[in-house]
Structure 1
Protein backbone atom coordinates (compact mmCIF):
# COMPACT_ATOMS: atom_id res chain seq x y z
CA UNK A 1 0.00 0.00 0.00
CA UNK A 2 2.74 2.44 0.96
CA UNK A 3 4.83 1.76 -2.16
CA UNK A 4 1.75 2.24 -4.36
CA UNK A 5 0.97 5.58 -2.70
CA UNK A 6 4.61 6.62 -3.02
CA UNK A 7 4.60 5.70 -6.71
CA UNK A 8 1.63 7.98 -7.39
CA UNK A 9 3.09 10.81 -5.30
CA UNK A 10 6.40 10.46 -7.16
CA UNK A 11 4.70 10.56 -10.55
CA UNK A 12 2.70 13.68 -9.64
CA UNK A 13 5.79 15.44 -8.28
CA UNK A 14 7.75 14.37 -11.37
CA UNK A 15 5.06 15.80 -13.68
CA UNK A 16 5.04 19.07 -11.75
CA UNK A 17 8.82 19.46 -11.83
CA UNK A 18 9.01 18.55 -15.53
CA UNK A 19 6.36 21.16 -16.36
CA UNK A 20 8.42 23.83 -14.61
CA UNK A 21 11.74 22.62 -16.05
CA UNK A 22 10.45 22.35 -19.62
CA UNK A 23 8.14 25.38 -19.54
CA UNK A 24 5.41 23.15 -21.02
CA UNK A 25 2.17 21.59 -19.81
CA UNK A 26 2.75 18.08 -18.44
CA UNK A 27 -0.16 15.71 -17.93
CA UNK A 28 -0.69 12.65 -15.75
CA UNK A 29 -3.49 10.67 -17.43
CA UNK A 30 -5.05 7.35 -16.52
CA UNK A 31 -4.34 4.60 -19.04
CA UNK A 32 -7.60 2.68 -18.79
CA UNK A 33 -11.09 2.91 -17.38
CA UNK A 34 -9.85 3.52 -13.83
CA UNK A 35 -6.64 4.92 -12.40
CA UNK A 36 -5.67 1.47 -11.06
CA UNK A 37 -5.27 0.41 -14.72
CA UNK A 38 -2.08 2.48 -14.80
CA UNK A 39 -1.22 5.98 -15.92
CA UNK A 40 1.22 7.90 -18.07
CA UNK A 41 3.09 11.17 -17.69
CA UNK A 42 3.60 13.14 -20.89
CA UNK A 43 4.42 16.58 -22.27
CA UNK A 44 1.20 17.94 -23.77
CA UNK A 45 2.26 20.13 -26.69
CA UNK A 46 -1.15 20.29 -28.39
CA UNK A 47 -2.93 20.87 -25.05
CA UNK A 48 -5.51 18.18 -25.74
CA UNK A 49 -4.80 16.38 -22.43
CA UNK A 50 -4.62 13.13 -24.36
CA UNK A 51 -1.40 11.66 -25.60
CA UNK A 52 -1.53 11.82 -29.36
CA UNK A 53 1.77 11.12 -31.05
CA UNK A 54 3.67 10.22 -27.86
CA UNK A 55 6.91 8.77 -29.14
CA UNK A 56 9.86 7.53 -27.15
CA UNK A 57 13.33 8.04 -28.52
CA UNK A 58 15.14 4.87 -29.55
CA UNK A 59 18.28 5.90 -27.67
CA UNK A 60 16.59 5.17 -24.34
CA UNK A 61 16.52 8.80 -23.22
CA UNK A 62 12.79 9.32 -22.78
CA UNK A 63 13.32 12.91 -21.70
CA UNK A 64 14.02 14.19 -25.23
CA UNK A 65 10.97 15.35 -27.12
CA UNK A 66 10.41 16.73 -30.58
CA UNK A 67 9.30 20.36 -30.50
CA UNK A 68 5.95 19.73 -32.17
CA UNK A 69 4.69 16.52 -30.62
CA UNK A 70 3.43 15.15 -27.35
CA UNK A 71 6.04 13.02 -25.64
CA UNK A 72 5.70 10.26 -23.05
CA UNK A 73 8.01 10.73 -20.09
CA UNK A 74 6.94 7.73 -17.99
CA UNK A 75 4.36 4.97 -18.14
CA UNK A 76 3.11 3.29 -14.97
CA UNK A 77 1.80 -0.27 -14.91
CA UNK A 78 -1.56 -1.34 -13.47
CA UNK A 79 -1.79 -1.73 -9.71
CA UNK A 80 -1.97 -5.16 -8.06
CA UNK A 81 -5.24 -7.04 -8.36
CA UNK A 82 -7.86 -5.92 -5.82
CA UNK A 83 -6.30 -2.46 -5.46
CA UNK A 84 -8.47 0.51 -6.35
CA UNK A 85 -7.21 3.99 -7.19
CA UNK A 86 -9.92 6.58 -7.65
CA UNK A 87 -9.94 10.36 -7.82
CA UNK A 88 -12.61 12.94 -7.12
CA UNK A 89 -11.56 15.91 -9.30
CA UNK A 90 -9.25 14.09 -11.67
CA UNK A 91 -11.66 11.82 -13.51
CA UNK A 92 -9.29 11.35 -16.45
CA UNK A 93 -6.18 13.46 -15.90
CA UNK A 94 -4.36 16.11 -13.92
CA UNK A 95 -2.16 18.63 -15.70
CA UNK A 96 0.60 20.92 -14.49
CA UNK A 97 1.38 24.29 -16.04
CA UNK A 98 4.89 25.74 -16.45
CA UNK A 99 4.34 27.56 -13.13
CA UNK A 100 3.85 24.21 -11.35
CA UNK A 101 0.15 24.78 -10.71
CA UNK A 102 -2.31 21.98 -11.36
CA UNK A 103 -5.47 22.41 -13.42
CA UNK A 104 -7.56 21.71 -10.31
CA UNK A 105 -7.28 20.44 -6.75
CA UNK A 106 -8.62 17.19 -5.35
CA UNK A 107 -7.64 13.83 -3.98
CA UNK A 108 -6.96 10.21 -4.82
CA UNK A 109 -7.94 7.20 -2.71
CA UNK A 110 -5.85 4.03 -2.90
CA UNK A 111 -7.33 0.94 -1.25
CA UNK A 112 -6.52 -2.72 -0.94
CA UNK A 113 -10.08 -3.79 -1.62
CA UNK A 114 -9.47 -7.54 -1.31
CA UNK A 115 -12.73 -8.05 0.58
CA UNK A 116 -14.69 -6.21 -2.15
CA UNK A 117 -16.70 -4.02 0.22
CA UNK A 118 -15.26 -0.71 -1.13
CA UNK A 119 -14.87 0.60 2.43
CA UNK A 120 -11.47 1.78 3.71
CA UNK A 121 -10.35 -0.24 6.72
CA UNK A 122 -7.43 0.03 9.12
CA UNK A 123 -4.16 -0.05 7.18
CA UNK A 124 -5.78 -0.74 3.80
CA UNK A 125 -6.20 2.80 2.49
CA UNK A 126 -4.18 5.91 1.67
CA UNK A 127 -5.36 9.30 0.51
CA UNK A 128 -3.27 11.57 -1.69
CA UNK A 129 -4.24 15.22 -1.78
CA UNK A 130 -3.31 17.77 -4.45
CA UNK A 131 -3.80 21.34 -3.21
CA UNK A 132 -4.78 24.43 -5.20
CA UNK A 133 -1.18 25.19 -6.25
CA UNK A 134 -0.42 21.61 -7.29
CA UNK A 135 1.50 20.41 -4.23
CA UNK A 136 0.98 16.80 -3.22
CA UNK A 137 0.71 15.29 0.27
CA UNK A 138 -0.66 12.24 2.05
CA UNK A 139 -4.01 12.55 3.78
CA UNK A 140 -3.88 12.87 7.57
CA UNK A 141 -5.07 10.32 10.12
CA UNK A 142 -5.66 12.62 13.11
CA UNK A 143 -7.51 10.02 15.20
CA UNK A 144 -4.94 7.25 14.48
CA UNK A 145 -7.57 4.74 13.38
CA UNK A 146 -5.51 3.67 10.34
CA UNK A 147 -7.90 5.37 7.88
CA UNK A 148 -7.24 8.81 6.35
CA UNK A 149 -9.56 11.50 7.72
CA UNK A 150 -12.72 11.93 5.67
CA UNK A 151 -12.10 8.89 3.47
CA UNK A 152 -15.32 6.86 3.57
CA UNK A 153 -15.21 4.98 0.28
CA UNK A 154 -12.58 3.28 -1.88
CA UNK A 155 -14.45 4.30 -5.02
CA UNK A 156 -14.96 8.03 -4.36
CA UNK A 157 -12.36 9.85 -2.27
Structure 2
Protein backbone atom coordinates (compact mmCIF):
# COMPACT_ATOMS: atom_id res chain seq x y z
CA UNK A 1 0.00 0.00 0.00
CA UNK A 2 1.29 3.41 -0.93
CA UNK A 3 1.76 6.10 1.75
CA UNK A 4 -0.61 8.98 1.60
CA UNK A 5 0.99 12.23 0.40
CA UNK A 6 0.16 15.61 1.80
CA UNK A 7 0.51 18.77 -0.23
CA UNK A 8 3.91 20.39 0.31
CA UNK A 9 3.79 23.49 2.54
CA UNK A 10 6.61 26.01 2.68
CA UNK A 11 7.87 27.24 6.07
CA UNK A 12 7.26 30.79 7.28
CA UNK A 13 4.69 33.02 8.90
CA UNK A 14 1.29 33.93 7.63
CA UNK A 15 0.27 37.57 7.54
CA UNK A 16 -2.07 37.05 10.50
CA UNK A 17 0.68 35.48 12.63
CA UNK A 18 3.00 38.38 11.81
CA UNK A 19 0.33 40.99 12.70
CA UNK A 20 -0.40 39.29 16.04
CA UNK A 21 3.32 39.19 16.89
CA UNK A 22 3.75 42.90 16.06
CA UNK A 23 0.66 43.80 18.14
CA UNK A 24 2.00 41.91 21.17
CA UNK A 25 5.42 43.58 20.81
CA UNK A 26 3.76 47.02 20.60
CA UNK A 27 1.75 46.40 23.77
CA UNK A 28 4.88 45.26 25.63
CA UNK A 29 6.76 48.38 24.53
CA UNK A 30 3.92 50.68 25.62
CA UNK A 31 3.96 49.05 29.05
CA UNK A 32 7.74 48.70 29.41
CA UNK A 33 9.20 52.00 28.15
CA UNK A 34 7.79 54.27 30.92
CA UNK A 35 9.01 51.84 33.57
CA UNK A 36 12.46 51.78 31.99
CA UNK A 37 12.64 55.61 31.90
CA UNK A 38 11.67 55.82 35.58
CA UNK A 39 14.25 53.15 36.42
CA UNK A 40 16.97 55.00 34.50
CA UNK A 41 16.15 58.32 36.22
CA UNK A 42 16.16 56.68 39.63
CA UNK A 43 19.45 54.95 38.88
CA UNK A 44 21.16 58.21 37.84
CA UNK A 45 19.95 59.97 40.97
CA UNK A 46 20.98 57.13 43.26
CA UNK A 47 24.41 57.09 41.63
CA UNK A 48 24.89 60.84 42.26
CA UNK A 49 23.82 60.50 45.90
CA UNK A 50 26.06 57.48 46.43
CA UNK A 51 29.02 59.34 44.90
CA UNK A 52 28.52 62.11 47.44
CA UNK A 53 28.24 59.62 50.31
CA UNK A 54 31.49 58.00 49.11
CA UNK A 55 33.21 61.41 49.04
CA UNK A 56 32.05 62.05 52.60
CA UNK A 57 33.36 58.66 53.71
CA UNK A 58 36.68 59.40 52.03
CA UNK A 59 36.94 62.77 53.78
CA UNK A 60 36.08 61.26 57.14
CA UNK A 61 38.65 58.49 56.66
CA UNK A 62 41.37 60.96 55.65
CA UNK A 63 40.64 63.15 58.68
CA UNK A 64 41.02 60.22 61.06
CA UNK A 65 44.03 58.75 59.23
CA UNK A 66 45.99 62.02 59.06
CA UNK A 67 44.84 63.49 62.38
CA UNK A 68 43.76 66.70 60.62
CA UNK A 69 40.55 68.28 59.44
CA UNK A 70 39.26 67.09 56.08
CA UNK A 71 36.71 69.07 54.11
CA UNK A 72 34.24 68.53 51.27
CA UNK A 73 33.40 71.71 49.34
CA UNK A 74 31.57 72.51 46.09
CA UNK A 75 33.93 72.95 43.15
CA UNK A 76 32.36 76.33 42.29
CA UNK A 77 31.15 78.74 44.99
CA UNK A 78 28.17 77.28 46.86
CA UNK A 79 26.89 75.23 43.90
CA UNK A 80 27.02 71.54 44.86
CA UNK A 81 25.75 70.59 41.38
CA UNK A 82 29.10 71.83 40.01
CA UNK A 83 30.76 68.84 41.70
CA UNK A 84 32.80 68.65 44.88
CA UNK A 85 36.35 68.53 46.13
CA UNK A 86 37.64 66.48 49.06
CA UNK A 87 40.85 67.72 50.69
CA UNK A 88 42.84 67.72 53.91
CA UNK A 89 42.66 71.30 55.20
CA UNK A 90 46.23 72.11 56.27
CA UNK A 91 45.60 75.84 56.87
CA UNK A 92 42.12 75.36 58.47
CA UNK A 93 40.28 77.84 56.24
CA UNK A 94 37.68 75.42 54.73
CA UNK A 95 38.78 76.47 51.22
CA UNK A 96 40.90 74.41 48.86
CA UNK A 97 44.21 76.12 48.01
CA UNK A 98 47.83 75.24 47.32
CA UNK A 99 48.67 74.47 50.95
CA UNK A 100 46.02 71.73 51.21
CA UNK A 101 46.22 68.06 50.21
CA UNK A 102 43.80 67.13 47.41
CA UNK A 103 42.17 63.76 48.00
CA UNK A 104 39.52 63.49 45.27
CA UNK A 105 37.41 65.66 42.97
CA UNK A 106 34.00 64.88 41.49
CA UNK A 107 32.91 66.44 38.23
CA UNK A 108 29.67 68.34 37.83
CA UNK A 109 26.32 66.61 37.99
CA UNK A 110 24.18 66.46 34.84
CA UNK A 111 22.47 69.79 34.01
CA UNK A 112 19.04 68.41 34.95
CA UNK A 113 20.11 67.91 38.60
CA UNK A 114 19.92 70.51 41.33
CA UNK A 115 21.75 70.13 44.66
CA UNK A 116 21.08 72.28 47.72
CA UNK A 117 22.61 72.02 51.17
CA UNK A 118 21.47 72.69 54.72
CA UNK A 119 23.66 73.45 57.74
CA UNK A 120 27.29 74.17 56.84
CA UNK A 121 26.54 72.77 53.36
CA UNK A 122 24.36 75.83 52.75
CA UNK A 123 26.54 78.67 54.02
CA UNK A 124 29.03 80.83 52.26
CA UNK A 125 31.47 79.21 51.99
CA UNK A 126 29.60 75.92 51.78
CA UNK A 127 31.50 73.02 53.32
CA UNK A 128 31.22 69.81 55.29
CA UNK A 129 34.16 69.37 57.63
CA UNK A 130 35.32 66.34 59.59
CA UNK A 131 37.60 66.68 62.61
CA UNK A 132 40.39 64.16 63.38
CA UNK A 133 37.90 62.05 65.37
CA UNK A 134 35.59 61.75 62.35
CA UNK A 135 32.83 64.03 63.67
CA UNK A 136 31.31 66.80 61.54
CA UNK A 137 31.78 70.28 62.84
CA UNK A 138 31.63 73.95 61.91
CA UNK A 139 34.63 76.23 61.55
CA UNK A 140 33.87 77.34 65.13
CA UNK A 141 34.37 73.74 66.37
CA UNK A 142 30.66 73.20 67.03
CA UNK A 143 29.38 69.72 66.17
CA UNK A 144 26.67 70.08 63.55
CA UNK A 145 24.76 67.84 61.18
CA UNK A 146 24.14 68.76 57.55
CA UNK A 147 22.10 67.59 54.58
CA UNK A 148 22.38 67.76 50.81
CA UNK A 149 19.26 67.44 48.67
CA UNK A 150 19.78 66.19 45.11
CA UNK A 151 16.78 66.36 42.80
CA UNK A 152 15.87 66.53 39.13
CA UNK A 153 14.93 70.01 37.93
CA UNK A 154 13.27 68.85 34.68
CA UNK A 155 10.16 67.28 36.27
CA UNK A 156 7.53 68.37 38.79
CA UNK A 157 4.80 67.15 41.12
CA UNK A 158 4.73 63.66 42.60
CA UNK A 159 7.28 62.47 40.07
CA UNK A 160 9.77 65.05 41.39
CA UNK A 161 9.31 63.78 44.95
CA UNK A 162 10.05 60.25 43.75
CA UNK A 163 13.13 61.57 41.92
CA UNK A 164 14.72 63.22 44.98
CA UNK A 165 17.47 61.94 47.26
CA UNK A 166 18.73 63.49 50.48
CA UNK A 167 22.17 62.80 51.93
CA UNK A 168 22.06 63.17 55.71
CA UNK A 169 25.34 63.70 57.55
CA UNK A 170 24.99 63.17 61.30
CA UNK A 171 27.09 64.97 63.92
CA UNK A 172 28.90 61.68 64.43
CA UNK A 173 30.11 61.80 60.81
CA UNK A 174 27.89 58.98 59.59
CA UNK A 175 26.40 59.72 56.16
CA UNK A 176 23.42 58.07 54.53
CA UNK A 177 21.43 58.60 51.34
CA UNK A 178 17.67 58.26 51.52
CA UNK A 179 14.56 58.80 49.43
CA UNK A 180 11.92 61.11 50.98
CA UNK A 181 9.11 59.48 48.99
CA UNK A 182 9.57 56.21 50.88
CA UNK A 183 11.29 57.24 54.17
CA UNK A 184 9.52 59.54 56.63
CA UNK A 185 12.80 60.28 58.45
CA UNK A 186 14.36 61.54 55.22
CA UNK A 187 14.01 65.33 55.40
CA UNK A 188 16.35 68.28 54.87
CA UNK A 189 16.16 68.93 58.62
CA UNK A 190 17.15 65.35 59.56
CA UNK A 191 20.13 65.07 61.87
CA UNK A 192 20.76 61.29 61.80
What TM-score, normalized by structure 2, do the two folds share? 0.63
2:52 aligned partner: 8
The corresponding residue for 1:154 is: none
TM superposition shift of 1:118:
9.1
Question: Aligned pairs, how many?
Answer: 133
| Cα distance, 1:119 vs structure 2 | 8.2
Q: Structure 2: state its 5+ residue gaps.
A: 1-44, 138-143
Deviation at 1:13, TM superposition (A): 0.7
Question: Which string of whole-angstrom CA distances, capped at 9 and with x for unpartnered residues, describes residues 31-64 of structure 1?
Answer: 11410011100110100111120xxxxxxxxxxx
Equivalent residue number for residue 87 of structure 2: 42
User: Do the aligned residues in 2 keep the contact of 1:140 with 1:149 (CA within 8 Å)?
Assistant: yes
Which structure 1 residue ranges, 4+ long, deviate > 6 Å from structure 2? none
Give 1:106's aligned residue: 146
Q: Whose Rg is larger?
A: 2
> Corresponding residue for 1:64?
none
Correspondence 1:78 to 2:108:
yes
Contact 1:126–1:147 (CA under 8 A) maintained in structure 2: no
**Structure 1 unaligned residues grouped into runs of 5+:** 54-68, 152-157
Distance 1:118 1:108, change over 3 A: farther
Contact 1:120/1:147 (8 A) holds in 2: no
1:95 paired to 2:125 = no
Residues 150 and 48 (structure 1), Cα distance of their counterparts in 2 relative to 1, 3 Å cut: closer
What per-residue deviation string (whole Å, max 9, x for no partner) do you get for residues 92-124 of structure 1?
101111100011202110001113x59872431
CA RMSD of the aligned region, Å?
A: 2.3
Q: Distance in 1 between matches of 2:61 and 2:52?
A: 14
* Contact 2:164/2:179, CA 8 A, preserved across alignment: no
SS of residue in 2 equivalent to 1:21: helix
Contact in 2 for aligned 1:29/1:41 (Cα 8 Å): yes
